[in-house]
Amino acid sequence: MTRAPAHYWLAGLCLAWLLPGLIGHVPWKGPDAETFAQLLATGQQGDWLFPSADAGAHVLPQLYLWLAHGLGVLLSPPLPLHDAARLASGIFVGIALWLTALTARTLYGVNAVWPAVLALLGCMGLLVPAHETNPYTVQLTALSLFVYGLARMLAQPLRGGGLAGLGLAALFLAGAWLPALSLAIALLLLPALLSSWRTSARVGGSWFALTAALALAGVWLLAVHAHYPERLAHWWQHAALGQSVFGMGEKTRYNPLYFLNALAWFAWPAWLLAGWAVYRLRRQGWNSVKLWLPLGVFAVAFVALSLQTGTEQIQSIILLPALALLAGAGLGELKRGAANALLWFSLMVFSFFALVFWIYWAALDLGWPAQLARRLAKLGMESQGLRPLALTSGLLITLAWVAWLLWLQRQPRTPQRPIMVWSVGVTFAWCLLLALFMRPLDARIGYAQLAHQIGSVVADGGCVASRNLDVTQAQLLAYHGSFDIRPSASACDWQLVLQKERRRIPVGSGWVKRWEGGLPGEKDARFWLYRRVD
């Protein structure tokens, strides 16, 4: 396989992994729904520079907010607003993959491009966030840009410094202020730590990076301080310092080893290959740029994350680019026995996933196995009969996987084969899952069906006061429905109350219940709709 066709094949695989699931489904419960609800709330308030806390300012990074809103304006219609906004995640992840390829080529040569990109693409923890309306994808791109800038500084200090500074500023605006600050300090200390960095050009490039980052982040901070000083102070105290060990408020939970445990599955199998690369590259000396650049970035970012008290697994996303680069560097020296083990493990895992998916499809569409079909019905996924489109799509995807494996058997063995099989397997499993279950998942973890049920009772444009609903529930029910949801104090003829199993909310006299429902499979949280009576 020549270089050009190989690059086209890699680009095609990235698109096959990235595009399915970005559009074509409603916002699903979790980060996808929560982020889109925050976008809707911010759009209603119009505070695009720095949204109020009610719109989730401490959760939604500015860069993601701006791009998602811009895509919504440009592409909706023809796309639904939620699909247009979700494309922001695909763009950011696509840029991160491209930057990883450029960095691998700069540091290790063209032979490392494939393994590095495939290692990042194959990380288990990246799959779902890349296809959600997920603001943490900005952090992945920002960190990738910073690492690429460092790599470029080796040959072009000024240009590389500008890219690294842009990456630091983007990381700050992506909500990762502590990793951005930590990496900036580490960049300042590089000449003292590494003899290869003690040239006037590279020192100048480092200072240029820090100056550019400070200028770009400072412009936004000054603008926010001029317009919303109280919000900025609240964000700094509660969302920034308040969620770190340096916080002035009450701590939530603190586990310095949290991200070490999270990486075990989140960064699989990149961390395994990266560990092997560190073991092999150590022979070149710890002063080797090929070793210290990605390893140093990983170490600093890991320490910065470990200093945070409010931790989520998705925050590990900024650790993936460095691990992918190390994995790409070490894959060529992976011993044959280890390579074969990873290869066969990949084949068994994704063949097992395919078998499980088809069994669940048979239970959902054909009612067999009967016990599994009954269990799915209890979870809110009742059989709707045979779905020809899902069956056809699933068969085509499965046949494509089998055909690719047969084709691969006839190709000469290469060091990239294990990670290639893993990454193609991830893509196959994801595409098969969407082909067989996208519509049932829309009904199971989306709010559209629930909103339509409420809309069938409330007249178009009707006023509905909400009680005990969070921002996500209120925004998405109003978005999917034909009614207007307002705060509980509103004088509406309808009232929607979220009743939970352990804490019932009294409604009082003057109201009569007209409807009850909830998300399929959720029996402990029910929505009760009341009508005002005279």
State the CATH number of the domain containing residue 518: 3.40.190
Mean pLDDT computed over 218-230:
88
| 77 CB-contact burial (10 Å; exposed 0-12 / middle 13-18 / buried 19+) | exposed
Could you give the strand order of the β-sheet that contains 511-517, starting from the edge strand earlier in sequence?
484-486, 463-467, 494-500, 525-532, 511-517
Are residues 356 and 238 part of one domain? Answer: no
Same domain, residue pair 392 and 323: no
Highest-confidence segment of 197-206, 220-229, 488-497, 521-530: 197-206
Final residue of a structural domain among 318, 333, 348: 333
> Quick check: is 6 in a domain?
no
∠ at Cα 438 (435, 439), nearest 5°?
A: 120
Cβ neighbours for 94, distance < 8 A, ≥ 6 positions apart: 14, 18
- Residues 511 and 436 reside in one and the same domain: no
The answer to whether 377 and 383 have CB atoms below 8 angstroms apart is yes
Segment among 148-157, 198-207, 226-235, 246-255 with least mean pLDDT: 246-255
Point out the domain boundary residue: 313, 333, 353: 333
Does residue 452 lie in a domain region?
A: yes
Q: H/E element holding 211?
A: helix 200-227
Residues 514-528 pLDDT 10s: 999 998 878 788 999
Residue 472 tokens, joined: 């996500």
pLDDT (tens digit per residue) in 289-310 = 888 899 999 999 999 998 887 6
Residue 420 maps to a domain: yes
| 412: in domain | yes
**pLDDT at 172 (0 to 100):** 93
- Do 243 and 302 sit in the same domain of this protein? yes
Q: For residue 207, which amino acid is it?
A: W
Q: Is the pLDDT of residue 26 over 80?
A: yes
- Asked if 174 and 35 sit in the same domain, the reply is yes
Exposure pattern of 456-474 as b/e (b: 16+ CB <10 Å)?
eebeeebbbbbbbbeebbb
CA pair distance 428, 439, nearest whole angstrom: 18
With residue 264 as reference, give the H or E element that holds it: helix 258-266
Together in a domain, 280 and 317: yes
Range of the domain at 454: 448-532
Residue 490 lies in a domain: yes
Residue 505: pLDDT band (50, 70, 90) is confident
The pLDDT mean for the chain works out to 89
Within 10 Å of residue 500's Cβ, how many Cβ atoms?
A: 11
Q: Are residues 204 and 56 in the same domain?
A: yes
Residue 211 has pLDDT above 80, yes or no: yes
Contact between 367 and 373 under an 8 Å Cβ cutoff? The reply is yes
Average pLDDT over residues 76-91: 96
On whether residue 7 sits in a domain, the answer given is: no
Q: Do 287 and 397 have their domain in common?
A: no
132 and 277 in a single domain? The answer is: yes
pLDDT confidence of residue 358:
98
State mean pLDDT over 411-431: 92
Q: What is the pTM of this model?
A: 0.93
Instruction: Kindly state whether residues 54 and 168 are assigned to the same domain.
Output: yes
Residues contacting 174, CB < 8 A, separation 6+ = 61, 63, 64, 135, 136, 138, 139, 141, 142
Can you tell me which residue has the tokens 């300012």? 57
What distances in angstroms separate CA 117 from CA 3, 60, 344, 459, one per listed residue?
Answer: 15, 27, 21, 52
Q: Give the number of domains in the chain.
A: 3
Residue 9 lies in a domain: no
Is residue 235 predicted with pLDDT exceeding 90? no
Q: Which pLDDT does position 289 carry in this prediction?
A: 80
What's the mean pLDDT in 153-175?
95
pLDDT at 169: 96
Clarify whether residues 301 and 180 are in a common domain.
yes
If asked whether residues 123 and 253 sit together in one domain, one would say: yes
